[in-house]
Amino acid sequence: MSPLFCTLGHENSGDSRFCRQCGEQLSAVAVGLIALSGQLLGGRYRVKRELGQGGFGRTYLAEDTHRFHEPCVLKEFAPQVQGTQSLQKAEELFAREAGVLYKLQHPQIPQFRELFRAEVQGVGRLFLVQDYVEGQTYHALLQTRRAQGHLFTEPEVRQLLFQLLPVLDYLHRSGVVHRDISPDNLILRSSDGLPVLIDFGGVKQVAAAVASHLHAYASAIGTRLGKLGYAPDEQMNTGDAFPHSDLYALAVTVLVLVTGREPQELLAGDRQQWKQQVRLSPPFVSVLDRMLDPYPPRRYQSAPDVLYVLSSPAQPNHDITLPPPPSPLPTFSHGSSTVAIAPPPARPKARSLPWLPLVLLGLLGGTATGWWWLGRESPSPKPQPTQTAVAPPSDNSTNVSQYSKQEQARKQAIRDRRQTLGIDQGFLVRLVDDAFYLDHPINRALSADPSDEALRADWDRKATEILDRLERLSQAARSRLGSYSNADVDKRRAAVNQLNLSSRSLNDLTDAHFFQWFPDQPRDPTLLQRPFGQVWQAIATDEVAAIQAGTALERIQFPSGRFSQQVSGTLKPGTGRAFTASLQKDQVIRLSVQAPSTTRLSLYPPSSKLPALLEDSKELEWSGKLSASGIYEVVLVSTATQSVEYTINLAAAENVTMPDSTN
């Protein structure tokens, strides 16, 4: 008989009526749980077998009959409540609280697909559907190694940290704490060898939020969100969890993997005894020791803090082979008016840039300096308040006194400038690294040795140049660098759509600014997945404001009784202007622009499903018969280094004189 679990997660025998630990009555919902193997739920998901069971229900392996029988995981939510009204309230709360989980988009987090309700023999069940991850848990891997007489090594667990910390940074900046990190909840994915976070603690957090509304066990439930020994004391005692709580659990996981011992053996009593049971380098021991500090304020407060220290010159290299970053930025539909998770579109245009895992750190956020690895920037998938995305790393680096007075002053000036502009330290480091390694394709981190002084000077020069350009952004747009997301893309699209303008036109205007400021940046479809993509988004934010203010958008209207119009103006370097005109299907139009050859012209039809008639073209004329009615968009941008004058002539009528050949 399958075991039963109370709302606190206590395990009981299958014939129990009361919990043997807390005395809670096990309701008919719990006692009546039945096997679902072979059943079709929600008219779509066929249950294959049970994967596990917890305090809020079972977890099943299923196949999605609507997606070629693709494997997926069903997480059951069976709150211990009495009555239809209470169950309905639980469903409403669960659906509301679970909403944040569906917005998470990261390849090392199983994607949540949907929430649905199913009736099973008259019992209402809620199921959460998520991707199935093929692979072995780190607990299973550890058991195999123990049987073979060996454990995980320092290089392996250091690499695990480098692979997981960016994922936690993504989660934490999304406002989510995992709460349940342990070897059981980490899977080494078979397809690419990357660790994946499973048994997502947010589900339990959601369930607890529901329970707190429904019955009197709220405080007790809060204390049990996490595994004993892995979760820090404050999480187990109060239910409160913070980013540093996940870092604590991750450090415990590392100790378990390198020792093969349970947390209670390592941390009970004398909390320092684990240091005698590990064979780790002193710098790495120091990192783990701070992650495990029982006093929360003394721990590292963010995942980038840990990455910063792990990548400092004091840390051993161990010849770790770091994987490519896990595409922390979502892919945006950059060339149309819709947003979608899809292959990168063709704009902005550029060659691809190989990822370089070595990251440079100048004196940007404190009195420290050094080199660190952080990977590419990963904005959260939901709108965030105006704030920095990453807390400045702790001051744990080499002594700046080894640098010359001139270099110290240079780095101090960069730091002061960055703080004045309100730019996050970690983000600026990644941004400058992106540009620096584009010019210096060296596959190593810079050192503090005199031999690298010239390269450090070049890094500082690039930092200064980039700050000069970022200063041109509005304070509102600049303050969000590092936290722009696909939700921001969607909001900008909606804002310009209200003014009858598409994302294609907005992209043209943004590109003009961006590539005038950063002409050396590659025109790459992966731009939005790199740190410079955050700058692009900040510029786009300012462009939307200019469009809404009428300084970057003008409507072309034909005077009564006429079918032609002329508009003139001036374009400053790297700027553009969009124009809209209401035109009819089968009209013959002629568009011509008098402007220098450094001007580019685009002509977009009313629907993004229709191809552009002109796009970023050096040709400044177009004529032909229109295939659709609606609002057409004309975008003119300048690539010149000086202001240029332009004149646009638009004629639309049945008797417009046509050239011999049309585009």
Provide the sign of the torsion angle of the four alpha carbons 371, 422, 353, 194, taken in this order: positive
**DSSP-based three-state secondary structure for 492:** helix
Q: Are the CB atoms for 486 and 105 separated by under 8 Å?
A: yes
CB 71: neighbour CB atoms within 10 A?
A: 14
Catalytic residue status for 180: yes
What is the largest distance, in Å, between two alpha-carbon atoms of the chain? Answer: 93
C-alpha span between 523 and 531 (Å, rounded): 14
CA 204/CA 554 separation, integer angstroms: 52
Strand partners, 18: 25
Q: Which of 374, 376, 383, 375 is nearest to 175 (CA)?
A: 383
The full DSSP string for 1-68 is ---EE-TT--EE-TT-SB-TTT--B--HHHHT----TT-EETTTEEEEEEEEEETTEEEEEEEETTTT
Tokens matching residue 175: 């406002």
The residues near 385 (Cβ < 8 Å, ≥ 6 apart) are: none
Q: CA–CA separation, 359 vs 434, rounded Å? A: 8
Q: What is the DSSP string of 215-280?
A: STTHHHHHHTSS-TTTS-HHHHHH----HHHHHHHHHHHHHHHHH---HHHHHSSSTTGGGGS---
Look-up of token digits 């004629």: 651
The Cα 442–Cα 127 span in angstroms is 50
| Residues pairing with 577 in the sheet | 636
Catalytic entry in 169, 180, 511, 616 = 180
Type of residue numbered 466? I
Evaluate whether 376 touches 430 at the Cβ level (below 8 Å): yes
CA–CA separation, 83 and 619 (whole Å) = 71
The amino acid occupying position 335 is: G
CB 200 within 8 A of CB 178: yes
Separation between Cα atoms, residue 128 and residue 555, nearest integer Å: 48
- Residue 609's nearest CA partner among 487, 504, 491 is 504
Pairing of the two strands 195-197 and 45-54: unpaired
Residue of 172, 158, 164, 528 lying closest to 339 (CA atoms): 528
Where in the sequence numbering do the catalytic residues fall?
A: 180
